[in-house]
Structure formats: structure tokens, C-alpha cells
Amino acid sequence: MNATATGKEAPYYRGSSLILGSLLDLERDPAGFMQMLTNQYSEIVRLRMFRMNIYLCIHPDAISHVLHDNHMNYDKQTFDYKMLGDRLLGKGLLTNDGPAWLKQRRLAQPAFHQKRIQKYSEIMNECTAELIEKWSRQDGATLDLSEEMANLTLRIVGRTLFSLDMTGQSGEIGDAFSKANHLMTRRIFATSPPFVNFMPLDWKLRAAARRLRAVVGQIIELRKGKEDQFDDLLSMLMGARDDDGNPMDTEQLKDEVLTLLLAGHETTANALTWSFHLLARNPGEQSRLAEECRAVLGQSVADFQTVPKLQRARMVMEESMRIYPPAWSIGRRCMKEDEIMGYRIEAGSLMFLAQLVTHRHPAFWENPMEFRPERFREGKKNSHGYAYFPFGGGPRLCIGADFAMMESIIILSALVSRFEFESVQDEVSMELLITLRPAGGMPMKIHKRPD
């Protein structure tokens, strides 16, 4: 139930620009700016961007309120989600809202049931084994782990959800999405006033989107008339009928496939890339992980049965996603006036929830920038559930969370048990796009471990 306007005003940060408010601050150094706000305010702070009220929710209680406790009052009708939908993903699971989203979610949910994920683990195992064979011929080489993981996870999502090996399209998809990722971020955080012509930027963004949708269109065309021959998510979507018995139209089908294709590989690839970065910078942790993986797996690759035994691999993945959350922020719109932690929230305000901030909150994480996988040992997890929310929370918890964790553990454990990872860069910077990427990729030297 929404609160009446009895709460106090949230603390206000004026920003560096009289006209733009805090927009320039956020664009110049988003991570540094949000960390400064966390250090200064710790719970909630109100910002202004043009005429828009924005609340940065820092404290886990505020995150819980928006995503779980009063989630019905917070929708996705925000500028960033609208832009992402209009320019790139359409009305897929990530960007849609309300009853239409719920219908889509229920339709896709069976594809992520535990029995399905068990079947998917076999494909994850096969694809990882093939990468190991390839890397074994490149001992001592310097590889871009960001690119390697993107290619691997794209292949896995293609085979598991669409029964299609997308190795041949990985370059096209990766290049087009990288362009769209950068252009979308520039478009969302553009500092020019609204009346300035954004057409050149939009043209480039739409061109990248057309390339991606062309690939998706080819996938759908290849499947038409053959739905009964496959047992995957694409067949479920193509066979779905509405209350009047009508199938999903082609554009909506493209929206769903494109969303699952991009969200299903980009975030997992980034999570793995940051994990290898942290392990390379912490050789003791890398050695301990390699010992566990070898003890559990020997020379094999993990499967559905052995993944639960890889406790340290799970801890490494969770700690990596704490420090470098692949999806680093969530936006919501407050529909009706509300109260959070005693602060009045005006209707129509934008709520900004940043994993990158809350995951590093010093009140909930001791020495938050230290890589300590032991934080996530069973029984030692943070007592506040929303101090850590890499997959979101509430009813809109990421549909592929279990899929992504299994995939990450299978890949991480297999590669670390066979290869040692060595950093070749003194510094690695974060690039805060739609997802959290390492700026310029993640070049790293790989060495085969002795048998």
C-alpha cells in the first residue's frame, strides 16, 4: 500500500550545472560520482537531471522496497528502458511491462525449468570442452578474454535456446551489439538539451539494430514450418497462441529472440571476464580454485551433477559479480507517491538502483574492494538479501539466473583447472554501458597447467 506524504524530504545533491543538474557529473565519471554520493549520503539521495527528479537508492532497504516490498508501484516506464525498447530490443522480456510482460514471462518460464537446465548443461559441457581443445594449441598466447567469453556464451545460448550453432554469426553479432551498446549509452546520457537534433546518433543506433534483427530474422525463417522437430524455447514461442488462437506476430517474435540472445550471452560473458581478471590479480585464490576443480573434476568438465560440488567456483563467481556486477544498474518509475525509509518519494520520479553502488557499500561489505570469495561461503552470506542483487529481485528476478550460474561455474571450473591466467595490463578500467564491460577488452596470457 502506498504511503501518504508524511515522510521527510530526501537529501538533495544540487549537481554541477544550473540547467542540467547532475547529468554532467554522471556522464563524466558515473562510478566515481555514485561512490561519492554513497560516501556522503548512504541511504537515499535526490538528484535532478533537467526537470526530472531522480532518487539514487543506496541502502538495501530502499532496494528491497522498490523491487520487492512495493514493486507494484514501480514500473519500467523510464527513459532508458523506453530508449532500449524503441531503438533496439522492442517489447521483449527485458523492456516490456504490465500484463503483456507477465504473459511473456509465463510463456518462457518452462524453458528455464531445472529439468531443462540439466539438459542445457550437456551443451555447456560440450562447448567448453571444444574451447579447451582450441586453447591447448595456444599455450602461452595472449587472448582477449572478453572476446573469447562472448563467443563461447553466444554459442551456448544459440544451441540451448534455439538449437542453432551460431559460431559463424558471432563476429557479426558481437560487432553490431558492441556498437549498439556504446551508441545506446551515449544516447541515454547525452548532455544536449532535448530540442537538439539527435538524428545522426539515432541513425547509427538503428543501423546496428537492423543488423542484429536481420540475424534474428534468419533464425526465425530457418525454423518456420519445422516447429515440431525441435524442443527448445524458440519452438515454444512460435507455437504459442493468444486467447483468440492467434500466433505471435513476426516482430514480437524477433523482439523476444533478440532479447534472449543478447541478454543470454552478454552478461554471462562479462561476469566470466571479470572473474578471470580478479583471479589473475589474486594468484593465491586462483591456485586454490584450480586445486578444488581438479579434485572434483579430474580431467573432465563439470556437468549438472558435479556443479553443486564446486563450492569455491560458485563463491568466486558471486564475489566477482559483487565487485563487477555485469548488469550494474536498474531503473524504475514511481507511479504513485510513496515513502521509502522515511523519505517522501514524489509520483513520476525515476528510481535509480545501482548494483555497482550497493554491492560496494562499506556498511554491508568489509573492505568492499578486496576480492574475498570466502564472503559467500555457505552460512556466511550477507544477512541483508538486497545488499547483493546481481540478477535483480522480486517478481522480475532474471529468468535466466540459474542458467547463467550453472553456465558460469561449468566454464570457470573447466578453464581454471587446465590453464593459468596472467594479467598483461597494469590497469583495467570499467566501461559503464548498458552492461559493465572492461574498457578495451581483457587481454590475458594463458598457460597450460601441468597434467
Question: How do residues 22-76 score in pLDDT, each as one tens digit?
Answer: 878 888 888 999 999 999 998 999 998 777 889 999 999 999 999 999 999 999 9
**Interior/surface letters 329-350, b for 16+ CB within 10 angstroms, e for the rest:** bbbbbbeebbbbeebbbeeebb
Residue 177 to residues 88, 266, 444: CA-CA distances in angstroms?
A: 10, 9, 23
Question: How do residues 106-116 score in pLDDT, each as one tens digit?
Answer: 888 888 988 88
Taking alpha carbons only, the member of 367, 358, 376 closest to residue 314 is 376
Confidence of residue 83 (pLDDT cuts 50, 70, 90): confident
Confidence of residue 442 (pLDDT cuts 50, 70, 90): very high
Residue 107 to residues 220, 332, 369: CA-CA distances in angstroms?
A: 18, 24, 40
Q: Is the pLDDT of residue 447 over 60?
A: yes
Question: How do residues 203-213 score in pLDDT, each as one tens digit?
Answer: 888 898 899 99
What is the mean predicted confidence (pLDDT) over 303-314? Answer: 96
- Contact criterion met (CB below 8 Å) for 412 and 272: yes
Q: Tell me, rounded to whole angstroms, the distance of Cα 185 from its chain centroid.
A: 15
What is the mean predicted confidence (pLDDT) over 410-423? Answer: 97
Beta strand segments in 229-275, E: none
Distance separating alpha carbons of residues 426 and 160, to the nearest angstrom: 37
Distance separating alpha carbons of residues 400 and 409, to the nearest angstrom: 14
CB contact set of 412 (below 8 Å; sequence gap of 6+): 272, 275, 289, 313, 316, 317
Taking alpha carbons only, the member of 395, 411, 161 closest to residue 263 is 161
On average, the pLDDT of the chain sits at: 90
Lowest mean pLDDT among 109-113, 371-375, 411-415: 109-113
| pTM of the predicted model as reported, rounded to 2 decimal places | 0.93
* Dihedral angle, C-alpha 433, 262, 271, 383, nearest 10 °: 90
What is the mean predicted confidence (pLDDT) over 87-113? Answer: 88
List the grid coordinates of 439. 574498457
Confidence of residue 21 (pLDDT cuts 50, 70, 90): confident
Establish how many alpha carbons lie within 13 A of residue 331's alpha carbon, considering only the half-sphere containing its beta carbon: 19
What was the pLDDT predicted at 358?
A: 96
- Contact criterion met (CB below 8 Å) for 438 and 431: yes
Q: Tell me, rounded to whole angstroms, the distance of Cα 435 from its chain centroid.
A: 6
Question: How do residues 338-348 score in pLDDT, each as one tens digit?
Answer: 999 999 999 99
What was the pLDDT predicted at 195?
A: 44
- Contact criterion met (CB below 8 Å) for 135 and 435: no
Q: Which amino acid is at 131?
A: L
Distance separating alpha carbons of residues 373 and 157, to the nearest angstrom: 27
Q: Tell me, rounded to whole angstroms, the distance of Cα 308 from its chain centroid.
A: 23
* Dihedral angle, C-alpha 152, 431, 187, 83, nearest 10 °: 50
Which domains are assigned to the chain? Answer: 23-448 (1.10.630.10)
Confidence of residue 382 (pLDDT cuts 50, 70, 90): low
Confidence of residue 15 (pLDDT cuts 50, 70, 90): confident
List the grid coordinates of 322. 559483487
Per the rule left: phi > 0, alpha: psi between -120 and 50, beta: everything else, 15 is left
- Contact criterion met (CB below 8 Å) for 107 and 234: no
Taking alpha carbons only, the member of 147, 118, 121 closest to residue 407 is 121
Distance separating alpha carbons of residues 150 and 250, to the nearest angstrom: 27
What was the pLDDT predicted at 203?
A: 85
Q: Which amino acid is at 368?
A: P
Q: Is the pLDDT of residue 2 over 60?
A: no
Confidence of residue 198 (pLDDT cuts 50, 70, 90): low
- Contact criterion met (CB below 8 Å) for 351 and 55: yes
SS3 state of residue 75: strand
Question: How do residues 225-261 score in pLDDT, each as one tens digit?
Answer: 887 888 888 888 888 777 778 788 888 889 988 998 8
β-pairing verdict for 419-423 and 443-448: antiparallel
Q: Using CB atoms within 10 Å of the CB of residue 389, give its burial: 0 to 12 exposed, 13 to 18 middle, 19+ buried.
A: buried
Query: Phi and psi for 17 in degrees, rounded to 5?
Result: -120, 130
What was the pLDDT predicted at 290?
A: 97
What is the mean predicted confidence (pLDDT) over 101-130? Answer: 91
Distance separating alpha carbons of residues 397 and 265, to the nearest angstrom: 17
Question: How do residues 274-292 score in pLDDT, each as one tens digit?
Answer: 999 999 999 999 999 999 9
The more confident residue out of 16 and 55 is 55
Q: Using CB atoms within 10 Å of the CB of residue 109, give its burial: 0 to 12 exposed, 13 to 18 middle, 19+ buried.
A: exposed
Q: Is the pLDDT of residue 387 over 60?
A: yes
Distance separating alpha carbons of residues 22 and 155, to the nearest angstrom: 40
What was the pLDDT predicted at 385?
A: 82
What was the pLDDT predicted at 380?
A: 62
